[in-house]
Amino acid sequence: MEVYTRGNETRETITSTGDGAAMHDRSLPQLLRDLSNDSMTLIRKEAQLFRAETEQKITTAQRQGIVLGAGGMIAYLGLLSLTAALVLALALVMPAWLAALLVGFVLIAAGVTAMVMGKNRLQSEQLAPKESIRSVKNDVRMVREAVR
């Protein structure tokens, strides 16, 4: 088994040949036990990588959602104040009911636009655990090559 580090990630790889002389000295049952143990280790490591990558993606999405919600609430409070000021200003040149109606429609259009943009940005976040998928595919390929 070899250990290597890439960035802040430490990975173990299972070498199928190891020391050539040692491979020939071991019995078939011992080799099968080693294969079973190495396979279980590989499965556990892949599960740990998958779990860590998934937790990181979920945490990122949660943070983005919280910031989006907090920003929306603050903007809403400011919008209420500006809405009142705008309606009062327009009421000087048109009936107050018409001023309120006009401002209301404009704000609804702006709000719908902002929600669509936020939804699109959240959907663009890649939530699939790409590193785990790539790693499992590589492991399957290595096992297939070792069996040949």
- pLDDT digits 0-9 by tens, 19-45: 554 556 788 888 888 888 888 898 889
The domain segmentation of the chain, as residue ranges, is 2-147
In degrees, rounded to 5, the angle at the alpha carbon of residue 27 between the alpha carbons of residues 22 and 31 is 75
Type of residue found at 97: W
Is 14 a residue whose pLDDT tops 70?
no
> How many whole angstroms separate alpha carbon 66 and alpha carbon 100?
31
In degrees, rounded to 5, the angle at the alpha carbon of residue 42 between the alpha carbons of residues 36 and 45 is 145
What is the value of pTM for the model shown? 0.39
> How many whole angstroms separate alpha carbon 46 and alpha carbon 53?
10
Provide the pLDDT for residue 76: 86
